[in-house]
Amino acid sequence: MSGDTQQTAAEYIKHHLQNMTYGKFPDGHWGLAHDAAEAKAMGFMAIHVDTMFWSIFLGALFLFLFKKVANTATAGVPGGMQNFVEMIVEFVDSSVKGTFSGRNPYVAPMALTIFVWVFLINFMDLMPVDWLPGVAGWIGHNLFGMDPHHVYFKVVPSTDPNATFGMALAVFMLTLYYSFKQKGMIGFVGELTLHPFSSDNKVLQLVFIPINFVLEFVALLAKPLSLSLRLYGNMFAGEMIFILIALMYGGGWLVGAFGGFLQLGWAIFHILIITLQAYIFMTLTIVYMDLAYQTNEDH
C-alpha cells in the first residue's frame, strides 16, 4: 500500500494507525467505523476488533502450545520445544523467587502468562506492516464490497493504549486485592497516611497525614499509568518507525533498497525491544505484588 498513488504519505500513516472500530453510531445503528471521525463519534460504546482478535488469538496460542508441551513432556531426552518451554519457565520462576518475598502460588503462573503473552503481542510488530492489513483490505473489498482504504487492521495490540491500560488495570486490581487481604483496611489506610513522613508528636502526625495521603495516592495511581504507558510508548514508536521505513518503498528502487536495509536492521534491534518490554512488564508486576505483601514494618 505504500506505493499506492491514491494515498499520500499522511493518509498511509493514518490508515496504519487506525484501529478497526465497531460500535454504536450517533443515529443508533451498529457497525464498523469508516474513518477516525466515525470511530470518535462512537465514544465509549465501541470496541477495537483487531486489538481484541489478536490479543485473544495470541493468548489462546500461548495456552495451546504450553498445554501441548505439558501433555507430551518426558523425563527422558526432551525435544526442542520442551527445552524451550522449560527454559522460559525456569527463567520466570527464578525472577519470581528473586523478587517476590511473600507466599502466593499464583504469582509465578501469572508472571509466566504476562511474559509470554506480552512477548507474543509485541512480536506481531515484526510482521511486515502491509501484509496483514493488505489481506484484511482484500477480504473486505472482495467479500463485503468495502473500500480497502476504509478497512483498518492493526496487528500489534500493544500499540493500542486500550490494551496496555487494560492489562495494567488488571495487575493494579490484583495488587489492591492482595493489599487489602494481607494488611486489612486499617493497615492499607495506614500505609497511605503514615508514610513517608511520621512523628511521635500526635499533633504533628495529624499535619503529616494529608501530605502523606497525597504523596502515596499519587504514587499508587502512577503504578498502572507507568506500567501501561511504558509498554504502549515503546511499541508505538517502534511501529511508527516500521511504517516510515515502508514509505521508502514507494520512492524508487534505490530508496526502496535502502529502506529494506533499514527495515532489516531495525527488525533485528526490535527483537531486543519486544523482549525487554515483556520482561519489564512482568518484573514490575512481580514488584507490585511484592509491595502488596509488605507490611508497615517493612517500610
Active site positions, annotated: 226, 230, 234
Q: And the C-alpha cell for 210? A: 494529608
Q: Are 87 and 251 in contact (CB under 8 A)?
A: no
Q: What is the torsional sign of CA 143, 149, 155, 160?
A: negative
* Maximal CA-CA distance, the chain: 76
Q: And the C-alpha cell for 33? A: 467505523
Amino acid present at 134? G
Q: And the C-alpha cell for 6? A: 491514491
- CA atoms of 54 and 264, how far apart (whole Å): 24
Q: And the C-alpha cell for 125? A: 510488530
- CA atoms of 93 and 95, how far apart (whole Å): 5
